[in-house]
Amino acid sequence: MAIPAGSQLAFASYEYSMDPLVNANPQEFDPMRSYRKRMAGPDQWDLHKAGMAHRENLAFGYGSQACPGRRFAVAERKVIMACLLFEFELKFTEGRMRPKTQHLNQFCFTDQSMTLMMKQL
């Protein structure tokens, strides 16, 4: 089978991560999920880290095609989140809640009409 030049290939990461065989209770927010997977045993320590290139974690690719900047991207994300959480109070406008995340191939989007209020501490 030939793939035409210019074709976009994507891994169905949302569908994979929402599979109950991959993640127990996938609809439930669980910030410690990957940590518990790592603590399941010494053979699991490196499999569930952010930025890990492994066939069970394809966020940054795998094998020779793994993103070479994945460690920098993860570190940058951590710094940005730490600064936002430390320096700002964040909330939605009165009566609004977190919008539903929308997925298209490997991309995630939120409702662009939502307003997030930020107050510098």
Identify whether 72 is part of a domain. Answer: yes
Q: Count of domains in the chain? A: 1
5 within domain boundaries: no
CA distance 70 to 60: 6
**Rounded-to-integer distance, Cα 11 and Cα 13, Å:** 5
The sign of the CA dihedral 62, 67, 70, 73 is: negative
Q: Decide if 21 is inside a domain.
A: yes
Residue 7 resides in a domain: no
> pLDDT tens for residues 1-45?
899 999 987 777 788 888 999 888 998 989 899 899 889 888 888
Residue 36 lies in a domain: yes
Position 73 in a domain = yes
Residue 116 C-alpha from the chain's centroid: 20
Dump pLDDT digits (tens) for 40-95: 888 888 888 888 888 777 778 888 889 999 999 999 999 999 999 999 999 998 88
- The percent of the chain in helix, strand and coil, each rounded to the nearest 5, is 30, 15, 55
pLDDT at 14: 80
Pick the more confident residue, 114 or 107: 114
The pLDDT tens digits of the residues spanning 95-107 come to 888 888 887 776 7
